[in-house]
Amino acid sequence: MRTVGVEEEYLLVDPESGHPLPVSEAVLRYAHTHPAPGHPPSAPPQEEGDEVEGEFQRQQVEIHTCTRSSLVDLRSDLGEARGRVNAAAADVGAAIAALGTSPQPVRPVTVPSPRYERILRRYGLTAEEHLTCACHVHVSVESEEEGVGVLDRIRTWLPVLVALSASSPFWQGRDSRYASYRTQAMSRWPATGPTDLFGSARAYHRVVDDLVGSGALVDVAMVYFDARLSHHLPTVEVRVADVCTDVRDAVMLAGLVRALVETEARAWAEGRPPSEVPTALVRAAAWQAARFGLDDELLLPQTCRAVPADEVVHALLDHVQDALDEDDGADSVADRVDAVLTHGSSARRQRRVHAQSGRLRDVVRDAVRLTAGEDE
């Protein structure tokens, strides 16, 4: 069983007003000096990969889980990480909200560092306005060649993950009309979105080297492809999803990504060629998923034609079924997919809360409760 780990980014918000708070330094100081619940007061992190870090803006933090073979263990890790960061945030009068963008208007405040200052100078308003939160799923691969074989074969399915995870309908106090406006905000950076077929690890690295060498990127860490080879771990890193407000959805996402990586690794090993769907159509599928989420049609990867979203989601489940059947958490993944199809994504829930009260602060308050697991 391939191992899987998750990175989640959270907004730091005022639990009453819902406005983001630039308090990441204080939150990190608390998190780094207080052990996770149930652990002795030895220096955290408890295991390699169990980390709490800052991000580009002071209104957000990021956690990294350990890599796990069991989705049950991953669920426990995510719950502990959210609890630990929430406790740190509470110490300075804040809370965490797993939302792809801030519903309330916000003026981002960048963490002072030479690298971030260089990014601000180079990318101007794109960097100044950037405050988004994603979920990145890392799945182990045996080699870079296998990893690139996976990247070439998962690209057409990644828009479905956008639709399932969508949690960013609001931007600067307005309904963006997108289920995942984070996806649109990310598209402003120079190395984002779907990729062409690479064919080999050498070709992949040539593209990355050329991007960095062109001067368009500050460094290799700014390769923000929808999926990439991790530059510091032996994994494929799928970066396309919004952060999931409900931890159960994060585990579902991780299970789907692992099953998709396993399915396409087998296809690569057997010499089955990847789909040659043009990148322009993959990009169109990603836009459709970001715009409508699960509430309209998605593009079916096999035909690139629009069909009801639930049909495309079930096509993904069918595609990865053999790999899911080997996973001890397969039933929970399928059950959670069905629950999301029935009740809707986080984006739909946020709009429903806003429609009921008319107040964006209530949207954030609801997300704070759900992030903390109070509404499971």
153, 274 in Cβ contact below 8 A? Answer: yes
254, 64 in Cβ contact below 8 A? Answer: no
Sequence-ordered strand ranges (E) for 26-113: 51-54, 60-64, 95-97
Q: How far apart are the first and last CA of the chain?
A: 28
CA gap 372, 71 in Å, rounded: 19
Q: What is the CATH number of domain 4-371?
A: 3.30.590.20
Q: What are the beta bridge partners of residue 10?
A: 61
In one-letter notation, the amino acid at residue 111 is: V
Q: Cβ–Cβ contacts within 10 Å for residue 79, how many?
A: 17
The pLDDT, as a whole number, for residue 36 is 56
* Nearest Cα to Cα of residue 58 among 103, 34, 15, 92: 92
**What are the structure tokens assigned to 218, written together?**
């500050």
CA gap 149, 132 in Å, rounded: 29
The pLDDT, as a whole number, for residue 328 is 76
Q: Cβ–Cβ contacts within 10 Å for residue 270, how many?
A: 7
Query: What is the residue extent of each domain of the chain?
Result: 4-371
Q: What is the pLDDT along the chain (376 residues), one digit of tens a residue?
A: 899 999 999 999 999 999 999 999 999 999 888 765 544 444 444 444 568 899 999 999 999 999 999 999 999 999 999 999 999 999 999 999 999 999 999 999 999 999 999 999 999 999 999 999 999 999 999 999 999 999 999 999 999 999 999 999 999 999 999 999 999 999 999 999 999 999 999 999 999 999 999 999 999 999 999 999 998 889 999 999 999 999 999 999 999 999 999 999 999 999 999 999 999 999 999 999 999 999 999 999 988 899 999 999 999 999 999 999 988 777 789 999 999 999 999 999 999 999 999 999 999 999 999 999 987 6
**What are the structure tokens assigned to 219, written together?**
């460094």
> What is the per-residue pLDDT across 237-260, written as a single tens digit (0 to 9) for each?
999 999 999 999 999 999 999 999
Compute the C-alpha angle 322/308/134, nearest 5°.
70
The pTM (predicted TM-score) of the whole model is 0.94
> What is the per-residue pLDDT across 50-97, written as a single tens digit (0 to 9) for each?
688 999 999 999 999 999 999 999 999 999 999 999 999 999 999 999
